[in-house]
Amino acid sequence: MAAHYDSIHEWREQCARCCLDLDFEPLHGAPFRAALALVFENPCVVRAALSPGFAFRDANPIRDGDSNFEFFISQSRNLDVVQQGREIRLGLGDAAIVQASEPVRVGSRESFGFLAVVIPPTELEARKACSGNALMQRLSAKSEAMRLLRGYIRSLERMGPAAFLDGHEIVRRHIIDLVVFAATPHRPIGESSASAIVAARLGAALDYITSCFRDPELSLTTVALNLHISPRYLQRLMETSGISFTERVNELRLQRACALLMEPHADASRISDIALEAGFSDISYFNRLFRSRFGDTPSDVRSLHHRGQA
């Protein structure tokens, strides 16, 4: 959950100093507003939204021995990043790597936001992902690795780390590995079996299925095309989740149909219309699946629920 701040003093004392060591300078005295959420603790992943101005770190608060890298992902159309006399402008979804041991300015003349991932140098340097040439370079939002990283972080925000069955350490490795892939944009990904890529792509597939399951034309092939992977690779990804594509889609549709049957005015709707709204185009198939899943027909479930509410 994001913490909201209405004064720079609150921002300094309660939040910013503890993670990113950032102060704030409003644009020409504009009112200050900030929201900051800790997405993950180690590595530190933070989402920030601020009023017009610049978040900055001067030489004073820099901790001795702080040799971390900070991976900033823009959540705004224009985000200016300044370090060591160099300035770059990031578009929505673009990223840049900066050094935590150097002063930095990040901001915009409009309200802006960013994601920041704080990475120990050993994690990037061991993979040769952060040479001097990689610092203060615009990393394009369009790269596949960047899309996977942003999607993985969204999944963390939506479900929380506890929902990831692999555990905290695996999530930590996935974040770092995805940052490495994003920081080396010319490194091919393809249909990789790397754990971080598999996890990020599976998360993207599940998100797509969850948003589109009510489409009766949804298929493994359409999802694979949307994600720019082959159907066979997607099938292997789904197998790692322990449930097939068809089983997941049917479960989402059945849960949706059950919820519709229990709505206050569901008696006025035909079972066939509810099935269609949930994404089933074959009513007989829907009835068989529903009875197998819930132990009763759709009509019986609706009647029993409404009698219990009377």
pLDDT of residue 163: 58
Residues 166 and 267 in one domain: no
pLDDT of residue 1: 57
pLDDT of residue 291: 96
pLDDT of residue 125: 61
The parent domain of residue 215 ranges over 161-247
Residues 46 and 130 in one domain: yes
For strands 3-5 and 23-26, give the pairing.
Answer: unpaired
Tell me which of 247, 279, 301 is where a domain ends: 247
Residues 62 and 93 in one domain: yes
Tell me which of 137, 170, 191 is where a domain ends: 137
pLDDT of residue 269: 85
Domain CATH code at residue 181? 1.10.10
Instruction: Answer yes or no: is 58 within a domain.
Output: yes
pLDDT of residue 282: 95
pLDDT of residue 218: 96
Single pTM value for the model: 0.83
The stretches in the chain having pLDDT less than 50 are: none
pLDDT of residue 162: 62
- If one counts the domains in the chain, the total is 3
Residues 176 and 207 in one domain: yes
pLDDT of residue 62: 53
Instruction: Answer yes or no: is 234 within a domain.
Output: yes
Instruction: Answer yes or no: is 152 within a domain.
Output: no
Say if CB 185 and CB 134 are below 8 A apart.
no
Tell me the pLDDT tens digit for each residue of 199-208.
Answer: 999 999 999 9
pLDDT of residue 167: 77
pLDDT of residue 226: 93
